[in-house]
Protein backbone atom coordinates (compact mmCIF):
# COMPACT_ATOMS: atom_id res chain seq x y z
CA UNK A 1 0.00 0.00 0.00
CA UNK A 2 1.38 3.39 -0.95
CA UNK A 3 1.26 6.33 1.34
CA UNK A 4 -0.48 9.44 0.10
CA UNK A 5 1.92 12.10 -1.03
CA UNK A 6 2.29 15.19 1.06
CA UNK A 7 0.56 18.24 -0.26
CA UNK A 8 2.89 21.15 -0.69
CA UNK A 9 1.34 24.39 0.48
CA UNK A 10 2.65 27.88 0.43
CA UNK A 11 2.31 29.40 3.91
CA UNK A 12 1.76 32.91 2.54
CA UNK A 13 -0.95 31.67 0.19
CA UNK A 14 -2.73 29.83 3.00
CA UNK A 15 -2.46 32.87 5.28
CA UNK A 16 -3.81 35.18 2.56
CA UNK A 17 -6.67 32.79 1.79
CA UNK A 18 -7.63 32.45 5.44
CA UNK A 19 -7.42 36.21 5.96
CA UNK A 20 -9.61 36.70 2.89
CA UNK A 21 -12.22 34.32 4.25
CA UNK A 22 -12.27 35.96 7.69
CA UNK A 23 -12.39 39.46 6.20
CA UNK A 24 -15.24 38.38 3.91
CA UNK A 25 -17.31 37.39 6.94
CA UNK A 26 -16.39 40.64 8.73
CA UNK A 27 -17.28 42.68 5.63
CA UNK A 28 -20.63 40.92 5.33
CA UNK A 29 -21.38 41.73 8.99
CA UNK A 30 -20.17 45.33 8.53
CA UNK A 31 -22.54 45.84 5.59
CA UNK A 32 -25.45 44.31 7.51
CA UNK A 33 -24.74 46.59 10.49
CA UNK A 34 -24.56 49.59 8.16
CA UNK A 35 -27.92 48.78 6.60
CA UNK A 36 -29.53 48.27 10.00
CA UNK A 37 -28.10 51.58 11.22
CA UNK A 38 -29.49 53.37 8.17
CA UNK A 39 -32.92 51.85 8.79
CA UNK A 40 -32.84 53.04 12.40
CA UNK A 41 -31.73 56.52 11.32
CA UNK A 42 -34.46 56.70 8.66
CA UNK A 43 -37.04 55.60 11.23
CA UNK A 44 -36.07 58.64 13.32
CA UNK A 45 -35.67 56.79 16.58
CA UNK A 46 -32.13 57.96 17.30
CA UNK A 47 -30.80 61.16 18.82
CA UNK A 48 -28.33 63.32 16.90
CA UNK A 49 -25.55 62.09 19.20
CA UNK A 50 -26.43 58.45 18.47
CA UNK A 51 -26.43 59.12 14.74
CA UNK A 52 -22.99 60.76 15.03
CA UNK A 53 -21.65 57.84 17.09
CA UNK A 54 -22.97 55.26 14.63
CA UNK A 55 -21.47 57.17 11.71
CA UNK A 56 -18.07 57.48 13.40
CA UNK A 57 -18.08 53.80 14.35
CA UNK A 58 -18.96 52.63 10.85
CA UNK A 59 -16.31 54.89 9.32
CA UNK A 60 -13.66 53.56 11.72
CA UNK A 61 -14.63 49.98 10.92
CA UNK A 62 -14.44 50.64 7.20
CA UNK A 63 -10.98 52.22 7.63
CA UNK A 64 -9.79 49.20 9.63
CA UNK A 65 -11.11 46.85 6.94
CA UNK A 66 -9.18 48.80 4.31
CA UNK A 67 -6.04 48.62 6.44
CA UNK A 68 -6.39 44.84 6.92
CA UNK A 69 -7.11 44.25 3.22
CA UNK A 70 -3.99 46.21 2.28
CA UNK A 71 -1.92 44.34 4.88
CA UNK A 72 -2.86 41.00 3.31
CA UNK A 73 -2.69 42.29 -0.28
CA UNK A 74 -6.42 41.90 -0.91
CA UNK A 75 -8.72 43.99 -3.07
CA UNK A 76 -12.39 44.60 -2.17
CA UNK A 77 -13.39 42.24 -4.99
CA UNK A 78 -11.31 39.47 -3.36
CA UNK A 79 -13.77 39.46 -0.45
CA UNK A 80 -16.82 38.88 -2.63
CA UNK A 81 -17.45 35.16 -2.99
CA UNK A 82 -19.19 33.96 -6.13
CA UNK A 83 -22.17 31.86 -5.06
CA UNK A 84 -22.82 30.53 -8.55
CA UNK A 85 -26.47 30.84 -9.57
CA UNK A 86 -27.18 32.95 -6.47
CA UNK A 87 -24.70 35.59 -7.60
CA UNK A 88 -22.09 37.37 -5.47
CA UNK A 89 -22.21 37.18 -1.68
CA UNK A 90 -21.76 40.92 -1.14
CA UNK A 91 -23.78 43.55 -2.99
CA UNK A 92 -21.84 46.05 -5.02
CA UNK A 93 -21.83 49.76 -4.07
CA UNK A 94 -24.72 50.43 -6.48
CA UNK A 95 -26.79 47.55 -5.09
CA UNK A 96 -26.72 48.48 -1.39
CA UNK A 97 -30.03 49.56 0.00
d(CA 71, CA 53): 27
- State pLDDT tens for residues 6-47: 777 788 888 888 999 999 999 889 889 889 999 998 999 889
Closest CA to 32 of 53, 61, 72: 61
Are the C-beta atoms of 29 and 78 separated by less than 8 Å?
A: no
- State pLDDT tens for residues 48-59: 999 999 999 999
Amino acid sequence: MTRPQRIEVDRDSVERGFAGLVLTVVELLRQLMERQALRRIDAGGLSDEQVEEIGATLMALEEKMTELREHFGLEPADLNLDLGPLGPLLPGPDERA
